Structure 1
Amino acid sequence: MSKQIITFTVLLLLLTSSLGFSQIKHDWDKIKSLKIAFITERLELNSKEAQEFWPIYNSYESKKEAFHKKEHSEIKDKIKNLDQLSNKEANALLDKMVKLEDEKHKSSQAYIEKVSKTISPKKTILLLRSEEDFKRQLIKQYRQRRANQKK
């Protein structure tokens, strides 16, 4: 347990030293690397599990990124100009939003089913919890940095 705490602390220190607005792409890559290291340590996958799990995980992460880009380009940009939309256009936008959420949900369901067959249902739950823990730690670290900058 203490090994995990030390590793996570080192990872967060690396993260905080790299978060600057001029290197956004590099920072996202670094965050992804830190997340992968965090998940790797938490799941304690054997080599067979790791070989099967990581391609599934990476594929799903790519799908999530594609959903995010699609949502941003097709929906969020139009919401910014909401006053200029007609009711018909707003209705079409709502339909797109619902369809995209449905696609995301189906993709998530398929991912969880596939992963649970690969690494076990228990480790799948641990994976989902680990991703949330990583996000929480990242947000906490970000808030602390912002609070320190304001002083």
Structure 2
Amino acid sequence: MASQTPHNSPGSAWLATHARRPDIASAVWDLDGLAPIHCTTWLAAEIQLNISLDALGRLRRGHRGPLLLDPALDTAWWLVPHSAALELADIRSVTVHPQEWPLHVPPVEHPAAGRFWHIPPDGSGHLTEPAYLAAALGPVGRLPAEAF
């Protein structure tokens, strides 16, 4: 059944601007599908779901950016800046996908195909800070003092 929810929130509008064809992204969302958004101004850091949720508990709100979850795949994707490719390279639990990789996302307003935004984009372009994500993925107590 097609969604009746308009996709005009700042977060969905921001995501659509990163699609190669924003009109197609919106049409896919209207059909309750996942739109391919190519990582151009940000990257997607893929991490197992339970590891991501543990890290989330260690991150202060100001250091958290958008977080997409797919429980059926046991997978989470953090939206991170391009610098994350280097900053997260040595963390085995993280796969940072390259620029132009298509992340298939639901709109911010509702889940689609089992995926949902645990922390939705707000339209501002705020991303997860990779240094803090790296620290949150490490042993307990390794977060910088300013993270608290």
Higher share of residues assigned helix: 1
Structure-2-length-normalised TM-score: 0.23
Structure-1-length-normalised TM-score: 0.23
Higher share of residues assigned strand: 2
